[in-house]
Amino acid sequence: MPTIQKTYNVAVIPGDGIGKEITPVAQQVLERAARGVADFSYTYFDLGAERYLRDGSILPDEELDRIKRTDAILLGAIGDPRIKAGILERGLLLKLRFSLDQYVNLRPSKLFRGVESPLKNPGDIDFAVVREGTEGLYCGAGGAVRRGTPQEVATEVSINTAYGVERVVRYAFDLAMRRRRHVTLVHKKNVLVNAGDMWQRIVDDVAKEYPDVTHDYLHIDAATIFMVSQPSRFDVILTDNLFGDILTDEAGEVVGGVGYSASGCINASGEYPSMFEPIHGSAPDIAGKGIANPTAAVLSSAMLLRHLGLDEPAERIERAVEADIEQSGAVQRSTKQIGDDILARL
Ligand code: ATP
């Protein structure tokens, strides 16, 4: 009797620019890698700059509700130079992140063989940044009074809750158990004494439950230096929303730029779907030419599979990408060619 495979419902948001070109490649690779293990049913969402320019919609409630009912989200890229910065970031990406309570922003950084790092002696770079995604300075607490006058006052308040910190700390330690078992907390606890102290105490408490995981601490300024002087020292970096934003951009650069990194906005409780995407943007300068590199999008599909517990196909994708970059990373290829080359290795 044939075995019945689980079907996962995936929301696909190709988005703008090269997002439309690379997302189908990521889906093709995902399908091939998971063949015989899982099935996927896709619901496509027309969201992003073009939709906004066409009918003014950013993320209608009815579509958000349908996204909420899926198992995971695959996102291409959002953005268009015709739209003022911030509109789609806040109305679409941040709204999704908050509505779906995606409290972990996960950004693995690996220097693949065949990719040139801007560092002279990069060493073996393979770490993951676990950034808190719903609190800190980015949750919109604050305001302005006497705007536009010489007496203007503006505040941004960093919100840190024990609940919010503990759940992301636990995620980092669980992740470390599946990696090289080391967590580095990055903060600025010598100056941000209230939040920093709470983060440290929660890390120390949670760490007691993970005797196999070691942990240490770095101030954010020291972390930015080690990121370029000794990046191989890191395994799991755990940090808040603001520091994580800065560190992950630096991390993307040291592993050779935006083309090779993916990220996940994760609701680790499973209450709502998590979202996976390449870290680069919609690249309007090359959109429509068929030359966008789909590698980061393909890696985001591997992250999606891993999140669904499908580790084996995820690993196969990662191995195929690694081999492809090592052998052909330096060769100029079309989007389709890179996709075909990766598919051929699966
Ligand atoms: P955003 O604000 O959305 O990040 P951006 O224009 O600053 O937009 P990207 O869209 O990531 O950033 O583009 C930065 C540069 O990298 C552009 O020159 C773009 O062509 C190039 N680029 C980005 N992604 C890719 C890709 N997948 N393949 C090839 N080139 C890319």
Mean pLDDT for 133-145 is: 93
Residue nearest to atom 16 of ligand 1 (CA): 283
Task: Give yes or no for residue 1 having a pLDDT over 70.
Answer: no
Task: Give yes or no for residue 343 having a pLDDT over 80.
Answer: yes
CB atoms within 10 A of CB 291: 17
Mean pLDDT for 2-6 is: 75
Long-range contacts of 111-115 (CB under 8 A, 24+ apart): 111/254, 111/255, 111/256, 112/255, 112/256, 112/260, 112/321, 112/322, 112/325, 112/326, 112/329, 113/322, 113/325, 113/326, 114/325, 114/326, 114/327, 114/329, 114/330, 115/255, 115/256, 115/260, 115/325, 115/329
Mean pLDDT for 274-283 is: 95
Catalytic pick among 204, 216, 221, 340 = 221
Catalytic pick among 16, 52, 171, 188 = 188
Please tell me the distance between residue 76's alpha carbon and the centre of ligand 1 in angstroms: 12
Q: Which atom of ligand 1 is nearest to the CA of 17?
A: 10
Q: Which of 90, 258, 334 to mutate to test the pocket of ligand 1 (most atoms within 8 A of CB)?
A: 258
Catalytic status, residue 8: no
Give the neighbor-by-neighbor strand order of the sheet with 38-44. Answer: 38-44, 6-15, 72-77, 274-278, 262-266, 104-110, 126-132, 236-239, 182-187, 214-219
pLDDT tens readout for residues 292-338: 999 999 999 999 999 999 999 999 999 999 999 999 988 899 999 99
Counting Cα atoms < 13 Å in the Cβ hemisphere of 54 gives: 7
Q: Do residues 215 and 184 touch, judged by C-beta distance below 8 A?
A: yes
Name beta bridge partners: 217: 185
Task: Tell me, using a 6 A CB cutoff, whether residue 17 lines ligand 1.
Answer: no
CA separation for the pair 11, 68 (Å, rounded): 9
pLDDT tens readout for residues 98-110: 999 999 999 999 9
Task: Give yes or no for residue 252 having a pLDDT over 60.
Answer: yes
Mean pLDDT for 149-171 is: 98
Please tell me the distance between residue 108's alpha carbon and the centre of ligand 1 in angstroms: 19
Task: Give yes or no for residue 27 having a pLDDT over 70.
Answer: yes
Please tell me the distance between residue 266's alpha carbon and the centre of ligand 1 in angstroms: 23
Question: Quick one: tokens of 235?
Answer: 């395994």
Task: Tell me, using a 6 A CB cutoff, whether residue 257 lines ligand 1.
Answer: no
**pLDDT in the model for residue 258:** 78
CA separation for the pair 100, 58 (Å, rounded): 16
Task: Give yes or no for residue 282 having a pLDDT over 60.
Answer: yes
Look over the chain and give the mean of its residue pLDDT values, rounded to a whole number.
96
Please tell me the distance between residue 180's alpha carbon and the centre of ligand 1 in angstroms: 31
Catalytic status, residue 46: no
Confidence class for position 3, pLDDT limits 50, 70, 90: low
CA separation for the pair 53, 106 (Å, rounded): 31
Task: Tell me, using a 6 A CB cutoff, whether residue 76 lines ligand 1.
Answer: no
Task: For residue 120, give every residue at least 6 positions away whose Cβ sits within 8 Å of its Cβ, in sequence order, or none.
Answer: none
Phi, psi of 202 (to 5 degrees): -65, -40
Task: Tell me, using a 6 A CB cutoff, whether residue 256 lines ligand 1.
Answer: no
CA separation for the pair 210, 203 (Å, rounded): 11
Please tell me the distance between residue 258's alpha carbon and the centre of ligand 1 in angstroms: 7
CA separation for the pair 272, 57 (Å, rounded): 22
Instruction: Kindly report the length of the chain.
Output: 346
